[in-house]
Amino acid sequence: MKTKAILLSEHGEPATVARCCEVELSPPGPGEVRVRVLFAPINPADINVLEGKYPVRPELPGIPGVEGVGVVEESGEGFAAGTRVLLPHRFGTWREAGNVCAAELVRVPDDVPLAQAAMVRINPATALCMLREFVRLEPNEWVLQNAANSAVGRCVIQMCRHYGWRSANVVRRAELVDELLAEGADAVFVDKPGELPVRLALNAVGGDSAVRMAGRLAEGGTIVTYGAMARQPLKVPNGLLIFNDIVWRGFWVTRWYARASAEERAALFDELFDLLRKGIISTPVEATYPLTEIAQALTHAQQAKRAGKVLLRCSE
Ligand X SMILES: NC(=O)c1ccc[n+]([C@@H]2O[C@H](COP(=O)([O-])OP(=O)(O)OC[C@H]3O[C@@H](n4cnc5c(N)ncnc54)[C@H](OP(=O)(O)O)[C@@H]3O)[C@@H](O)[C@H]2O)c1
Show contacts with ligand X in window 163-182 (CB under 6 A): 172-173
88 binds ligand X (CB under 6 A): no
Question: Does residue 126 bind ligand X (CB under 6 A)?
Answer: yes
Should residue 115 be labelled a site residue for ligand X when binding is judged by CB under 6 A? no
Site size toward ligand X (CB under 6 A) is 26
Please say whether the beta carbons of 60 and 8 come within 8 A. yes
Q: Check binding of 304 to ligand X (CB under 6 A).
A: yes
Q: Which is nearer to ligand X, 177 or 229 (CB)?
A: 229
Q: Per rule CB under 6 A, is residue 147 in the interface with ligand X?
A: yes
Is residue 54 flagged as an active site residue?
yes
53 binds ligand X (CB under 6 A): no
Residues 6+ apart with CB under 8 A from 288: 39, 115, 310, 311, 312, 313
Q: How far is the CB of 83 from ligand X (least distance, A)?
A: 26
Residue nearest to ligand X (CB): 227
Q: Does residue 251 touch ligand X according to CB under 6 A?
A: yes
CB half-sphere exposure, 285, CA atoms < 13 A: 20
- Give 76 or 308: the residue with its C-beta nearer to ligand X: 308
Where does this chain bind ligand X (CB under 6 A)? 43-45, 122-123, 126, 147, 149-152, 172-173, 204-205, 226-230, 251-253, 304-305, 309
